[in-house]
Amino acid sequence: MYDQVQKLGKSLIHHGPNNDRAYLMKLDDSDRLTIIDQLYQLCLLKRYSKIIAKVPEPYVGKFMESNFKVEAAIPGFYNGKTTGYFLGRYFSLARSRFSTTDRAKVRQIREAARAPFDPLSVHLLSGYQIRPLGPGHVVALAELYKKVFSVYPFPVFDPAYLMSTIEEGSVHYFGVFKNKQLVAASSAEVDRQAGNAEMTDFATHPDHTGMKLSVLLLRQMESAMREKGIQTLYTIARAKSPGMNKTFHRLGYTYGGILIHNTQIGSSIEHMNVWYKPV
């Protein structure tokens, strides 16, 4: 059973027992006076241990008055003008704890990501192709995600879910092929109203790692988002994943903060780094 994406009032949330949290993904202005209490009541009812809320700067003060704390920020998140904040509130001391060991580990990974690198030096090897994915690729895409991840916060193992996101036009998928086999993929989740896109869902088949396919996919997605008029790109990357943090830093993304014990990927709920880049 996956966590649910649904409306709370007119705002969009993601919640459930897997991530043990409520995530306010998109706040509708009409809910600004009621959303905090609604999230709080939902967490009490479901016994979730965290709320993570993504909100525009003008609403941050109200959340802070209700014991939320800033975990990350992205300048220009809303139409290149207004800063977006990731605000966390915890209902469990263990969930809120950022241990000295974890702190040192994620800092070490971020520092290693700063090694000099020229992204233009990366090229596809002979026999590989990169291109957008469509409805005809959803089965292969789901199989790739199953191969790479044991658990994921969204139902990317389900071809029907992938098809629905393509049909809605909210998610644009890209893939790398070798001899007609899909060997790597990623997606750009676009919020046209806010002028931003989340660069996410990166996966590379174990037999094709080490060729910097994520760098190539990210470069391709950036070009596509630029053509669509998107103004700000961002990602929420596993803080203990050296590869993904290197990929985003190498392509000029700025570190925006860390979301503590935020997302279940694999066997545990992990810390997540926020990276951003104006287009």
Residues facing residue 272 across a β-bridge: 238, 259
Burial of 129 (0-12, 13-18, 19+ CB in 10 A): exposed
With 90 as the cut, is the pLDDT of residue 116 above it? no
When pLDDT is cut at 50, 70 and 90, the band that residue 121 belongs to is confident
Determine the distance from the C-alpha atom of residue 76 to the mean position of all C-alpha atoms in its chain, rounded to a whole number: 17
SS3 258: strand
Mean pLDDT of the chain: 96
Q: Does domain 4-96 have CATH number 3.30.450.60?
A: no
pLDDT category of residue 136 using cuts at 50, 70 and 90: very high
pTM for the complete prediction? 0.95
CATH superfamily membership of 100-137+168-278: Gcn5-related N-acetyltransferase (GNAT) (3.40.630.30)
Question: Hey, where are the domains in the chain?
Answer: 4-96, 100-137+168-278
Radius of gyration (C-alpha) of the chain in whole angstroms: 18
Tokens of 12: 């969009």
CA distances from 20 to 99, 221, 263 (A): 19, 31, 9
Over the stretch 29-39, which tens digit does the pLDDT of each residue have? Answer: 999 999 999 99
Do domains 4-96 and 100-137+168-278 share one topology? The answer is yes
- Residue 115: what pLDDT? 86
- Extended beta strands in the chain, E state: 4-8, 11-16, 21-26, 50-56, 69-78, 82-90, 128-132, 171-178, 181-191, 196-204, 232-238, 254-265, 268-278
